[in-house]
Chain A
């Protein structure tokens, strides 16, 4: 069977936007797809060691709802994704002001490369 190519963009850092790109990446990787997860714009904050996922204004109950269920944390999901072979990338244009990122393997790539990959992917999705 042909291996699917999946490109996922994580563009936001609010709690409700942080989980879907990781869940989709993990789901796709666990079914055998080649997955690139790109952290761009505010999404790159998810790689900051001090990142705490916070819901959008007015949706604070989401944090409690997630805490009450056995939901993995963002760092735990990043670790699962790493184990499954998800390729983390960060467009070079987003790295200018970022000082420290989590100690996980990621590649700095030109945005143009990323957009070309997205154009040829079986699935391109952004959150």
Chain B
């Protein structure tokens, strides 16, 4: 059986999250997909930020995140979060990770794409 390719997305801007999540969900049909959210990108994993979006009647992102999780996409938030003084209050199924974790996974990746 052919080995699944591993694709890693590195997202530093929250405004790119929707595009990446859509692409990741699509790619997850035939590949192993991981997304690292860093700096401003990590905001999208925070429950408070998603609640703010919901109040603005924009819950697309929450739906996309859940769809990605359901599709087997692995989501990682930056351990060294700088966006929230109180720390990230992540949605379920998100792992906090640092550079060491990224490198371990990236060494075995077939493609790394930054957004």
Q: Which residues of A contact B (CB under 8 A)?
A: 4, 16-17, 19-20, 23-24, 26-28, 31, 33, 55-56, 58-59, 62, 65-66, 68-69, 71, 122-127
Contacts and interface: CB of A to CB of B under 8 A. Distances in A.
A123 B13 CA distance: 23
B82 A69 contact: yes
A16 B39 CA distance: 7
B93 interface: no
A58 B15 CA distance: 10
Interface string B2-16: 000000001011010
Interface residues on chain B, size class: 20 to 34
Contacts of B98: 27
B36 to A, nearest CB: 9
Contacts of B106: 123, 125
Nearest to A127: B114
Contacts of A16: 12-13, 39-41
Given A28-B103, A31-B103, A122-B107, A20 B12 contact: yes
A58 B109 CA distance: 32
B85 interface: yes
11 contacts: A16-B13, A20-B114, A55-B40, A59-B40, A62-B39, A62-B40, A65-B82, A65-B83, A125-B106, A126-B112, A126-B114
Given A20-B38, A56-B13, 13 more contacts: A4-B107, A16-B39, A17-B12, A20-B39, A27-B102, A31-B100, A62-B40, A66-B82, A123-B112, A124-B112, A125-B10, A125-B114, A127-B12
